[in-house]
Structure 1
Amino acid sequence: MTAPIFSLLAAAFYLGGTLYQIRCLMRRRSASPNLLRAIGVVALLSHAGSLYVQMVTADGLSFGFFHVSSLIAWLVLAVILMFSLRAPVTSLLIVLFPLALITDVLAWLFPGHGAALIPGKSAVLVHVLLSILAYGILTIAAFQAALLAVQNNQLKHRNPVRFNRTFPPLQTMEALLFQFLLCGEVLLTLALISGFIFLDNMFAQNVAHKTLLSCLAWVVFGILLWGRHFRGWRGSYAIRWTLGGFLLLMLAFFGSKMVSEFILPI
């Protein structure tokens, strides 16, 4: 009964944080960053307890579809809360709290469906954890790009709705986007290198599409970072390339995992 208690406690705090932000939005005032961080920390601790109970087994670590989704959401939120101590990123929490809530509940309701078990001391675990870190950071970049698109659209049409008022300036949002992209690209590079080192064949039939799509995403993010540095790309260029690379990455990971666990389970 431990996992349900942790999951429900985390869900309650995620829901409370979401409702608080919506209330502030409706009243046209800024949410308290300190209160949001406090809610987020308690929710993360409860969420971590739920993940630990569900994923750590006697045979190894369980990496089922919903487990990994929940872990990535946890990681994304943890990074944002730490980053919020030195940068204005708490506006992202209005999207991340509900996302963490949904993945937390789904991981509890559907534990271990077709889950892959990886021994705790396996070298493959290094590749898996690096991949999850990369996906987590690049997920933050994708949300940042989506919010940047909303903000850019509203300003372009000279219609700054109340939702826009919670955002930092465009220049700040854009700078944060490229910081996340650079960090995510480095982690994705390490994940791909570790995969070629620790896996027998990265282009085996069951993982070839995943490897190809991940490499394509790596190229897309690399071109975007090059364009930013040498050509000064920004605005719509940054948004489109970020979301395009993220789509490839999600198809690589979640698409292949969904097929292997739910459509064509082995």
Structure 2
Amino acid sequence: MLEIAKEAASVAGAFLKERFLEQLTPDEELHNDVKLPEDKGSEQRIIEVLHRHFPTHTIFSEEIGMVSRDEEYLWIVDPLDGTNNYFIGHPYFSISIALQHKGELALGVVYNPVAGQMFWAEKGQGAFLNGKRISINNRTDLTRAAGTYIRGRETVTRQEELAVTEPFMLQTKRLLRNVAPALDWCLLANGWLDYIVMQRSGIMDVAAGIVIASEAGATITDWQGEPYRHEPFFQDQTRSLVATNGQLHDTIRAMTVEQHVANVQR
């Protein structure tokens, strides 16, 4: 199943790479988002590969929603993670494919076709980038730490975003807003990032990345400090999570909670 997921990501990635740098015409351009024909083109190619090999499996994808079949296996597909980046010619986007088996995340594949980065992981088997095993870093100095902030497009206001991110902008080396969350989790997995703060963001967007980061040794909790446990996927499911290299986890989580509480009290 992992090899088929990588095949589906590769086919969709080749299509997206071919269209990248073209002057794209959106189907719809919203305040916080953009809809492109390339989203659907990528999705069609992924679904064709998955259905050809696994005709009884259920698929959930961003464009078509849930195609219900066998409930034991559920593929969670984001055919173009980072659509806004893709639209403006910024080569930070990916194809994200995860498999949920009997309510548990079993594998994840995240592919950035422009950079040629194929990340993948199976539960209990470690995480890999282009065939090489990867792991989180061991940084302990907060002032040298780089991280990213992920927020739900429709669930978090700009004011909430500013309140939560301010201490990280001031106290860490760098806070990024990459707007391609699946790929962010892979950067953490490979030790390029030190932390992720995620606020009420959709699980569909990050399911594959969570598998990869977990298998690379990342510490993942909710904002209250409870270890991350995958809940059987449903549409519009959102979570607020903190993920780190482990060394910085208590500090990063405390900064997140303190700022969030202060914002609520205001």
Task: Decide: shared fold, TM above 0.5.
Answer: no
Work out which of the two has the higher radius of gyration on C-alpha atoms and give 1 or 2. 1
Greater strand content: 2
Q: TM-score, normalised by structure 2?
A: 0.31
> Highest relative contact order (Cα 8 Å, sep 6+), 1 or 2?
1
